[in-house]
């Protein structure tokens, strides 16, 4: 930077007039601090070039950031904030040449001097156009001539590859730029002796400066060639994209605004399990509201209302019509356990499916036998297996059709007329995976819906018979609820004979 900014010669001025130079110096504060501390700790008055000197033993500790990431592997992955910052600038300018500068290790078994691209021909990612290598060779000629004049050792087309496309030299090559890697053999502390001669920090700086200036010269001289290459790269990318197996349309995910209902009649455990998942585990802002005070809210402010299980979950009559209007206008109502049973009747017009009690079949029953007979009708807690439609948006992220869930009610949802609305059904053959459920109850629940998703106007109604986050332990089913929050508009109903989409 100093060389370019302070230069008074006409040649450099011409280069500056004809080029745009973007310098990104991603300071690695942790690695830099470690190196400075190490260097100062072992610095001596007399320069010690012996590679066995402890002061030279600093390579591995300096290159990682605070969390131990090699930032030069982050161009594609962007898992670290440093990389996200410089990639914003890179894509804003989309340079024709990207020069990636590094210092490489040098040992007695692998002495190194100075490397520049292209790398090994046999280790190139197939996504990189062949013309990239040709242009890299042409740019490399500028460095070859310069180093020959300087009488410096160098090598190219060996040792380094461009197979992984997430580095500072390979990533540009799959984005229309000519990525050039520059690696200089480390001088370690200040100077060090190697089998290929003495390496010094000052000499390494001179070589990096030379290739930097040469890169600008090449960019100016090859301006038309590089611009045409970048333009053609973009056009070729359009052809390549034609073979992409893309979906018919894409929807933008929006942050849900969630209202979680509670109050007497709603089971505290059910509400708490859901609240913990959304708030503590997922970091989602959840508004808690008494169900009987639902009429006080600004309905347009919320995207999702969740009604947990409990023996008295129903809304007042005056609120049912308003909630139905909110759904038709685009809201999503999620009913769980008893909340699902209530919502299917209130919004979808389906009467609850009643289970027959075995004791009602008896003409006379002794009191002593009552508890034992009632156990046949009660599901105190069991794990059921469901058959999941993996193609449904609410099943996003699952790769196995059989899904276990916790059930502790005899609630049964009606089978929807819409054939794709049953996202998950209890398996027809032996639905109970663990726990006791009477044969009669198993027969009733086998093949019945566990998860139903229906469109209602512009909104959706999602029903789940089981608590997806029971005691915070059912990681396999809580994804269903999360998908219901983010993907509740990602599915549609089948068309009727008249061509319109079916709506309950």
- Residues 238 and 308 reside in one and the same domain: no
- Residue 208 inside a domain? The answer is yes
pLDDT score at 213: 95
Contact 385, 449 (CB under 8 A): no
In the structure, what pLDDT confidence band is assigned to residue 294 with cuts at 50, 70 and 90? very high
- Residue 403 inside a domain? The answer is yes
- What are the contacts of 225-234 at 24+ separation with CB within 8 A? 225/135, 226/96, 226/97, 226/135, 226/178, 227/96, 229/96, 229/131, 229/135, 229/176, 229/178, 230/94, 230/96, 230/176, 230/177, 233/129, 233/176, 234/176
- Cα gap 166→100, rounded to integer Å: 12
Query: What is the domain range of residue 279?
Result: 258-354+371-487
Tokens of 83: 């990389």
- Residue 281 inside a domain? The answer is yes
- Residue 247 inside a domain? The answer is no
Contact 340, 413 (CB under 8 A): yes
Task: Answer yes or no: pTM beyond 0.75.
Answer: no
pLDDT score at 362: 60
- Residues 440 and 340 reside in one and the same domain: yes
- Residues 274 and 230 reside in one and the same domain: no
**Among 144-153, 363-372, 418-427, 443-452, whose mean pLDDT is lowest?**
363-372
- Per mean pLDDT, which of 68-82, 291-305, 429-443 is the most reliable? 291-305
DSSP type of residue 277: I
User: What is residue 35's three-state secondary structure?
Assistant: helix
User: pLDDT at residue 439 above 50?
Assistant: yes
- Residues 238 and 263 reside in one and the same domain: no
- Residue 108 inside a domain? The answer is yes
- Please give the radius of gyration of the chain, using alpha carbons only, rounded to the nearest integer: 34
- Residues 312 and 425 reside in one and the same domain: yes
- Cα gap 455→327, rounded to integer Å: 9
CATH code (residue 345): 3.40.50.880
- Residues 267 and 235 reside in one and the same domain: no
In the structure, what pLDDT confidence band is assigned to residue 264 with cuts at 50, 70 and 90? confident
- Cα gap 331→257, rounded to integer Å: 10
- Cα gap 486→439, rounded to integer Å: 37
User: pLDDT at residue 451 above 80?
Assistant: yes
For the chain, the domain total comes to: 2
Give per-residue pLDDT as tens, 323-334. Answer: 999 999 999 999
- Cα gap 112→153, rounded to integer Å: 9
- Residues 35 and 71 reside in one and the same domain: yes
- Residues 115 and 157 reside in one and the same domain: yes
- Residues 3 and 146 reside in one and the same domain: yes
CATH code (residue 83): 3.40.630.10
- Residues 202 and 331 reside in one and the same domain: no
Q: What percent of the chain is modeled with pLDDT above 90?
A: 52
Tokens 């060639």 locate to 225
């Amino acid at each position: 930077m100093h060389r370019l900014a302070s230069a008074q010669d006409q040649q450099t001025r011409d280069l500056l007039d004809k080029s745009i130079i973007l310098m990104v110096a991603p300071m690695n504060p942790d690695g830099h601090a470690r190196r400075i501390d190490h260097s100062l700790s072992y610095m001596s008055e007399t320069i010690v070039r012996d590679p066995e000197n402890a002061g030279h033993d600093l390579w591995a500790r300096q290159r990682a950031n605070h969390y131990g990431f090699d930032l030069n592997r982050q161009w594609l992955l962007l898992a670290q904030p440093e990389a996200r910052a410089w990639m914003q600038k890179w894509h804003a300018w989309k340079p024709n040449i990207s020069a990636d500068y590094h210092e490489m290790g040098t040992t007695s078994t692998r002495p190194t001097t100075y490397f520049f691209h292209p790398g090994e021909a046999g280790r190139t990612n197939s996504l990189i156009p062949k013309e990239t290598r040709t242009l890299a060779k042409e740019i490399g000629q500028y460095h070859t001539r310069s180093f020959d004049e300087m009488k410096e050792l160098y090598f190219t087309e060996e040792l380094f590859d461009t197979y992984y496309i997430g580095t500072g030299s390979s990533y540009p090559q799959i984005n229309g730029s000519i990525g050039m890697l520059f690696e200089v053999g480390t001088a370690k502390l200040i100077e060090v002796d190697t089998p290929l001669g003495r390496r010094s920090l000052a000499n390494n700086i001179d070589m990096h400066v030379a290739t930097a200036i040469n890169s600008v010269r090449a960019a100016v001289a090859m301006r038309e060639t590089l611009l045409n290459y970048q333009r053609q790269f973009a056009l070729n990318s359009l052809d390549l994209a034609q073979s992409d197996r893309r979906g018919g349309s894409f929807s933008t995910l929006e942050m849900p605004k969630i209202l979680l209902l509670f109050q007497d009649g709603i089971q505290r455990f059910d509400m708490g399990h859901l609240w913990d998942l959304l708030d503590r585990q997922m970091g989602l802002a959840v508004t808690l509201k008494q169900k009987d005070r639902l009429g006080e809210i600004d309905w347009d402010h919320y995207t999702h209302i969740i009604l947990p299980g409990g023996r008295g979950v129903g809304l007042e009559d005056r609120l049912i019509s308003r909630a139905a209007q909110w759904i038709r206008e685009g809201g999503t109502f999620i009913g769980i356990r008893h909340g699902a049973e209530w919502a299917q009747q209130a919004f979808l017009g389906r009467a609850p499916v009643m289970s027959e009690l075995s004791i009602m079949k008896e003409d006379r029953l002794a009191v002593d036998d009552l508890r034992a007979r009632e156990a046949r009708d009660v599901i105190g807690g069991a794990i059921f297996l469901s058959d999941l439609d993996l193609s449904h948006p609410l099943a996003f992220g699952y790769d196995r059709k059989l899904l276990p869930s916790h059930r502790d009610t005899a609630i049964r949802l009606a089978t929807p007329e819409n054939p794709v609305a049953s996202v998950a059904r209890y398996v027809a053959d032996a639905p109970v995976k663990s726990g006791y459920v009477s044969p009669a109850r198993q027969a009733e629940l086998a093949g019945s819906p566990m998860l139903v998703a229906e469109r209602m106007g512009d909104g959706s109604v999602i029903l789940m018979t089981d608590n997806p986050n029971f005691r915070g332990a059912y990681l396999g089913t809580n994804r269903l609820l999360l998908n219901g929050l983010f993907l509740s508009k990602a599915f549609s109903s089948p068309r009727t004979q008249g061509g319109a989409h079916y709506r309950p």
